Amino acid sequence: MKILIAEDDYVSRLLLKKSITKMDHDPIETKDGKQAWDMFLEHQPDMVITDWMMPEMDGIELCKKLRSSDKKTYTYIMLLTAKDKITDLVEVFDAGADDYITKPFKPDELKSRIKTGRRILKLQHKMNEKNIELDKALKELKDTQSQILQSEKMASIGQLAAGVAHEINNPIGFVGSNLATLNDYLKDFNKLLDQYNLIKNELKNFGITNLPDNIKNLFDSIEKFENDIDIEYLKEDIPELLKDCAEGTERVRKIVGDLKNFAHPGNEKIKLMDINKGIESTLNVVNNEIKYKAKVIKDFGDIPMVEGFSQQINQVFMNILVNAAQAIEKTGEIHIKTELEGKGVKISISDTGSGIDEKNISKIFDPFFTTKPVGKGTGLGMNIAYNIIKKHKGSIDIKSKPGSGTTFIIRLPGK
């Protein structure tokens, strides 16, 4: 299999070449996106592994250009990136990449991802050899790709979250511990200040004029400094500042914990899930997508637990909430309501966005259907959400009108 490498860093390019050669594949090297495009046209490789940040033409632009080519056979594209935000990863897939790997990468991880790409390419070649209709073959290929990529993407995010949790929880732990110790120290300092004040008051009662000049001058200097720094205000404000810092570290700890729970790597097991807590956890994860666009109004009811895969259910909430925020042009509201319905749970998520044209409502859950501009959406989010809810023996419906916002209604059986 011919694999084109587009990487401007010599060390990374050498490591890629070495790993690919060990797998008995044929590497083709380039230093930037522009050269990569020329080499692609010349060699017609089966796979392209490209860095994001490069001179002449970056990886995202190269990816879009590759996808617009008229090459008859499919090219599998893997993008290398040091970026790790969810919004960055979305941009990778929106550009047409099949997979990504974060820098610095491990050879074993690269080998595994190349094997995944090879399996997908073999599947397509096999279908072509059997003369399956083009539309049917393309649909099956994309469906297979979307499931594999979704699984790998969530696992990678989960690994990232676990690493972030480990790296952040350690410093947060000793920051929290130090703040508690500082608070104890402050109490001791306040007790000492009280003792100083007792001495100062006794000196006043004794008569300041009876003291030696150097003691009187020192006494005046201390009183002036206390007035300058407003000692009484400091005694009140410092504990409040320490309290705010402690609350802030706890907030960071909670966000990291929610992210870790949201995309935990490994084989998730069926378990009882608190839907209200799941929504709260998801809101913490997507807060950056929503906070500048919408005010979130929650109306949580007293509902039973739901049995299922909590990570997958939270992914449904994430897809709907992010879409709701994107549908709001400037600012608006997102209403979330949970309630008991029979023995099950009903979840309604409404936004005050632009709404959906009636002719498109029936297509919302179709794979690869999107109303977003080209390059801005894959059309997989709602299809994945639909399949997850169906897998949990529930239902998902949509109500919308142009200019009147959109409401998603999810029903899940209670336990």
Average pLDDT over residues 207-211: 70
Give me the pLDDT at residue 70, please. 82
Residues 343-371 have pLDDT tens digits of 899 999 999 988 888 888 888 877 666 66
Nearby residues of 311 by Cβ (< 8 Å), 6 or more positions away: 154, 261, 262, 263, 264, 268
Q: Which amino acid is at 217?
A: N
Residues 118-174 have pLDDT tens digits of 888 888 777 666 655 666 666 666 666 655 555 555 555 555 556 666 667 678 777
In the CATH scheme, what is the homologous superfamily, with its name and number, of domain 2-131? Response regulator (3.40.50.2300)
Give me the pLDDT at residue 88, please. 74
3-state secondary structure of 346: strand
Give me the pLDDT at residue 124, please. 73
Q: Which CATH class is domain 271-412?
A: alpha beta
Give me the pLDDT at residue 408, please. 93
* Residue 284: alpha-carbon gap to chain centroid: 10
Q: Does position 23 have pLDDT exceeding 80, yes or no?
A: yes
Residues 390-404 have pLDDT tens digits of 889 999 999 988 888
Q: Record the tokens describing residue 389, joined without a space.
A: 């809810």
> Residue 217's CB: how many other CB atoms inside 10 A?
11
Average pLDDT over residues 375-389: 70
Residues 100-114 have pLDDT tens digits of 888 888 888 888 889
Q: Does position 277 have pLDDT exceeding 50, yes or no?
A: yes
| Confidence tier at 374 by pLDDT (50, 70, 90) | very low
What are the Cα distances from residue 146, in Å, to 77, 109, 182, 336, 367? 14, 19, 51, 29, 10
Min mean pLDDT across 32-36, 261-265, 345-349, 361-365 is at 261-265
CB 319 within 8 A of CB 379: no
| Domain spans of the chain, in order of start | 2-131, 167-262, 271-412
> 2-131 and 271-412: same fold?
no
Average pLDDT over residues 334-341: 94
